[in-house]
Chains A and B, each alone.
Chain A
Amino acid sequence: MKAILLDSIEQDLPVAHRDRKILYWLSTVDHKAIGKLYLLTALLFFVIGGAEALLMRTQLAVASNHLLQPEAYDQIFTMHGVTMIFFVMMPALLGLTVYFTPLMIGANEMAFPRLNAFSFWITFFGGLLLYFSFAAGGAPDAGWFNYAPLNEEHYSNSPGINYYAIGLLLGGIGSVTTAINIIVTIMKLRVKGMSLKRLPLFVWMALVNSFLIIAAMPSLNAALSMLLLDRVMEAHFFNTNAGGSALLWQHLFWMFGHPEVYILILPAFGIYSEVFQVFSQKKIFGYVFVAASTVAIGLLSFGVWVHHMFAAGLGNTVNSFFAAASMLIGIPTGVKIFNWIGTMYGGKIRLTTSMMFAVAFLIEFTIGGLSGIGFSIVPIDWQLTDSYFVVAHLHYVFIGGSLFSVFAALFYWFPKITGRQLSERLGKWFFWLFVIGFNLTFFLQHFLGLMGMPRRVYTYQDIPYYTLLNLLSSAGAYLMGAAVIVLLYNIYRTLKGEVMKDQDPWNAFTLEWYADAPPGERNFVDVPVVTSRRPFYDLKNPHDRDYD
């Protein structure tokens, strides 16, 4: 196997202070360190957002509970949603992308290392600003999609929503700059032989995803700018008392918001594609279909936003168009599900924690997908919108889809990032506690929704089954909380524990495993010339190489 030498990293990168810990983390432009910072940020906000979720479920555990007052409850559910979407899932998935994209394409750095650091820090400070709102007189309280006119000064007169707007603007700028950085890295820094047709699927998803970010974020940024002008300078965009338009906010928000849910799931699809291959010891079934259906999802995702607005009364023509588009987008997603099942079929399956999360994803995400298809049928949407059915649906896709992928990635790549392998025994405990808790919490909410329980109301009357189902749902949430403690303990114990001896514990296929574990400051000194989609596999099996 021929190996080619890589140019070393750009010469004049700022020297990170290796000897001084805090200064090192503040000043580093190394994509691996920044990837870790993203992941740690995600973990921090995950714990906070999770605590908020537990507060809500505690409040809802019994009927007519007054643990939280309505004002406090509104702030908590808003902060939970905003935190989990913008400051947990985004940094977690972008962090994994920033960490692994250069490694998987055989590059030593991102295209713009300083921009990479800028993107992280602006996102991080966006999150801090959002939380500063608690100290400044009250958190935002109009829900994560922050509908007009509830987001206006005279409905929400604490400064919370100003912090929402500024925090998300900063986060949005960070995401766009990261996305640009990722695209340029993938287009320009691939190692010799790695054509677009040989990109690892995780990188393919990152590429399409970055285009989605670039195209979707501006519409949120525009909406947030207008909202800030409304609130600070008394402009009239969303002020319905003075000729403003509530619908404009909805359109702008969901023109971002629907692509956003794909932004959170595409990198997840990439992670699953890698995990299914490695733990089935088989190459992906239908590589081209996985990549092409992703492009299809990317394009279609900009034509479905009005399905969040069926209840806004836009008329049958508009509703029908967007209903049809929403059903259509189920197809490329369904294609992928079969790709992954096909990958497992006939493979040597190893049910590691990572693989178990991937398999669980197939089931949970299909449930979430089916309820999603249900919502694209307009009359069903009218019946169920703003009920707990929506809460159940969105958690099945966000948790069962995106969050499970982060867990799968964590167990799969932890050895690469730290040189230590997470305990599989504790991992299984974590898996079962979390998955059982998750289904207990959210599956029951489908029924609550069908029975008419509205979301975002701080308490409920003791109607038959309401208390029982809610109590079980809360119990499930506590199971998830316990699971996360097991996970944190697992990470802590592993970091204290021994360095693993085997640099390639999973017998993996892609280039990141060719680097050291953990990779040195310079990822690669040399990289094998890529001649197929599984370069590391080729290297290990010179007599049974791939030819694609």
Chain B
Amino acid sequence: MNRLMMKLTIGSEAIFFLCLIVAYLYFWRSGNFQREVAEHLSIKSAGIFTAILLFSSFSFWQAERNHASENYKATKLWLIVTIILGVIFLLGQGHEYYKLIQENILISKSEFGSSFYTLTGFHGLHVLIGLIILLIVLALTMQGYLLNKNSSAIKTVGIYWHFVDAVWVFVFATIYVLPYIL
């Protein structure tokens, strides 16, 4: 029941992000994004943070596996790893925003600013929500809740967390990789 609910939720969320990506691409074509992306965005550092986020998906998968095989100590450990990786990703995003604002790229300055901050900002918000949920799950497992094989909570949260990571792959491809291809 929980898992079906979460699948429907991410289905809806996927369409939301699709709209934002389409809007980004729309302005990418009509505006002068090529130059701005080349001047202000660094695919290297974004790539590293992408790898970190993807690794957090892996670490969560480990938590799920250990949960299924009733190895609860490892579950908690991998949950902590996942949370740390998620926090690092958000810090990386914060740093990137800080740099861009120093270079006078603002949401109100150009279409690039509007589209870039909206798309990545909504993704960052989803990561933040994911982290809050993960912290709740961690706190509950520390208290000894959710620790039986039939609990669907960790699997349900997993669907969300993997989704957030998958969305980032598309966002990353759209913003950072596309200019190199087209």
Interface residues of A (CB under 8 A from B): 111-112, 176, 179-181, 183-184, 187-188, 214-215, 217-219, 221-223, 225-226, 229-230, 233-237, 242-245, 248, 252, 255
13 A-B pairs, CB-CB below 8 angstroms?
A188-B4, A214-B11, A217-B12, A219-B15, A222-B20, A223-B19, A226-B23, A229-B114, A234-B107, A236-B108, A236-B114, A237-B118, A243-B30
How far, in whole Å, are A222 and B18 apart by their CA atoms in the complex?
A: 9
**Main secondary structure on chain A at its contact with chain B?**
helix
> For chain B, which range describes its interface: under 10, 10 to 19, 20 to 34, or 35 or more residues?
20 to 34
Contact assessment for B111 and A243 in the assembled complex, using a CB-CB cutoff below 8 Å: yes
Pick from A184, A235, A248: contact of B8, CB under 8 Å: A184
B12: nearest chain-A partner, CB-CB: A214
Question: 4 nearest interchain CB pairs?
Answer: A234-B108, A222-B19, A218-B16, A235-B114
How far, in whole Å, are A425 and B108 apart by their CA atoms in the complex?
A: 62
B174 to chain A, nearest CB (A): 15
* Residues in A neighbouring B108, C-beta threshold 8 A: 233-236
Contact assessment for A235 and B4 in the assembled complex, using a CB-CB cutoff below 8 Å: no
B129 to chain A, nearest CB (A): 13
A182: nearest chain-B partner, CB-CB: B8
* Residues in A neighbouring B27, C-beta threshold 8 A: 237, 243, 245
How far, in whole Å, are A180 and B1 apart by their CA atoms in the complex?
A: 11
Which of chain B's residues 9-51 have a Cβ closer than 8 Å to chain A? 9, 11-13, 15-16, 18-20, 23, 26-27, 30-31
B106 to chain A, nearest CB (A): 9
Residue B148 CB within 8 A of the other chain = no
A229: nearest chain-B partner, CB-CB: B118
Pick from B1, B26, B114: contact of A188, CB under 8 Å: B1
Pick from A187, A217, A229: contact of B107, CB under 8 Å: A229
Residue B181 CB within 8 A of the other chain = no
Contact assessment for A225 and B118 in the assembled complex, using a CB-CB cutoff below 8 Å: yes
Contact assessment for B114 and A245 in the assembled complex, using a CB-CB cutoff below 8 Å: no
For B1, B15, B26, the residue with the greatest tally of chain A CB atoms inside 10 Å of its CB is B15
B11: nearest chain-A partner, CB-CB: A214
How far, in whole Å, are A221 and B113 apart by their CA atoms in the complex?
A: 20
* Residues in B neighbouring A111, C-beta threshold 8 A: 1, 5
How far, in whole Å, are A233 and B117 apart by their CA atoms in the complex?
A: 11
Contact assessment for B15 and A218 in the assembled complex, using a CB-CB cutoff below 8 Å: yes
Contact assessment for B19 and A180 in the assembled complex, using a CB-CB cutoff below 8 Å: no
* Residues in A neighbouring B111, C-beta threshold 8 A: 236-237, 242-244
A185 to chain B, nearest CB (A): 9
Contact assessment for A218 and B19 in the assembled complex, using a CB-CB cutoff below 8 Å: yes
Contact assessment for A184 and B4 in the assembled complex, using a CB-CB cutoff below 8 Å: yes
Residue B58 CB within 8 A of the other chain = no
Count contacts between A and B, CB distance < 8 Å: 88
Contact assessment for B19 and A183 in the assembled complex, using a CB-CB cutoff below 8 Å: no
For A112, A222, A244, the residue with the greatest tally of chain B CB atoms inside 10 Å of its CB is A222
Residue B71 CB within 8 A of the other chain = no
How far, in whole Å, are A389 and B34 apart by their CA atoms in the complex?
A: 46
How far, in whole Å, are A234 and B117 apart by their CA atoms in the complex?
A: 12
A-facing mask of B97-136, CB < 8 A → 1, else 0?
0000000000110110111011000100000000000000
A390 to chain B, nearest CB (A): 26
Beyond A188-B1, A233-B107, list 17 extra A-B contacts (CB 8 Å).
A112-B5, A180-B8, A184-B8, A214-B12, A218-B16, A218-B19, A219-B19, A222-B16, A222-B23, A223-B19, A233-B108, A234-B107, A235-B108, A235-B113, A236-B108, A248-B23, A255-B19
B31: nearest chain-A partner, CB-CB: A243
Pick from A112, A181, A187, A237: contact of B23, CB under 8 Å: A237
A-facing mask of B72-93, CB < 8 A → 1, else 0?
0000000000000000000000
B132 to chain A, nearest CB (A): 17
Contact assessment for B114 and A237 in the assembled complex, using a CB-CB cutoff below 8 Å: yes
Contact assessment for B107 and A215 in the assembled complex, using a CB-CB cutoff below 8 Å: no
**Main secondary structure on chain B at its contact with chain A?**
helix
Pick from B5, B31, B110, B113: contact of A180, CB under 8 Å: B5
* Residues in A neighbouring B12, C-beta threshold 8 A: 176, 180, 214-215, 217-218
* Residues in A neighbouring B30, C-beta threshold 8 A: 243, 245
Contact assessment for A214 and B8 in the assembled complex, using a CB-CB cutoff below 8 Å: yes
* Residues in B neighbouring A255, C-beta threshold 8 A: 19
* Residues in A neighbouring B122, C-beta threshold 8 A: 225
How far, in whole Å, are A236 and B11 apart by their CA atoms in the complex?
A: 28
How far, in whole Å, are A34 and B86 apart by their CA atoms in the complex?
A: 38
A219: nearest chain-B partner, CB-CB: B19
Contact assessment for A187 and B4 in the assembled complex, using a CB-CB cutoff below 8 Å: yes
> Given A235-B108, A236-B114, A237-B114, do A180 and B9 touch, yes or no (CB 8 Å)?
yes
How far, in whole Å, are A214 and B114 apart by their CA atoms in the complex?
A: 26
How far, in whole Å, are A434 and B110 apart by their CA atoms in the complex?
A: 53
B121: nearest chain-A partner, CB-CB: A229
For B9, B16, B110, the residue with the greatest tally of chain A CB atoms inside 10 Å of its CB is B16
Contact assessment for B19 and A252 in the assembled complex, using a CB-CB cutoff below 8 Å: yes
A181: nearest chain-B partner, CB-CB: B5
A162 to chain B, nearest CB (A): 16
* Residues in B neighbouring A188, C-beta threshold 8 A: 1, 4
* Residues in A neighbouring B19, C-beta threshold 8 A: 218-219, 222-223, 252, 255
A236 to chain B, nearest CB (A): 4
How far, in whole Å, are A242 and B113 apart by their CA atoms in the complex?
A: 12
* Residues in B neighbouring A234, C-beta threshold 8 A: 107-108
Contact assessment for A183 and B4 in the assembled complex, using a CB-CB cutoff below 8 Å: yes
B13: nearest chain-A partner, CB-CB: A218
Contact assessment for B107 and A235 in the assembled complex, using a CB-CB cutoff below 8 Å: yes
A312 to chain B, nearest CB (A): 15
How far, in whole Å, are A272 and B22 apart by their CA atoms in the complex?
A: 38
A476 to chain B, nearest CB (A): 40
A344 to chain B, nearest CB (A): 36
* Residues in B neighbouring A184, C-beta threshold 8 A: 1, 4-5, 8
How far, in whole Å, are A520 and B113 apart by their CA atoms in the complex?
A: 56
How far, in whole Å, are A243 and B8 apart by their CA atoms in the complex?
A: 35
How far, in whole Å, are A219 and B15 apart by their CA atoms in the complex?
A: 7
How far, in whole Å, are A225 and B170 apart by their CA atoms in the complex?
A: 20
For A176, A181, A188, A235, the residue with the greatest tally of chain B CB atoms inside 10 Å of its CB is A235
A221: nearest chain-B partner, CB-CB: B16
How far, in whole Å, are A243 and B113 apart by their CA atoms in the complex?
A: 12
B30 to chain A, nearest CB (A): 7
How far, in whole Å, are A243 and B29 apart by their CA atoms in the complex?
A: 12
How far, in whole Å, are A414 and B172 apart by their CA atoms in the complex?
A: 54
* Residues in B neighbouring A187, C-beta threshold 8 A: 4
How far, in whole Å, are A187 and B4 apart by their CA atoms in the complex?
A: 9
For A112, A217, A234, the residue with the greatest tally of chain B CB atoms inside 10 Å of its CB is A234
* Residues in A neighbouring B4, C-beta threshold 8 A: 183-184, 187-188
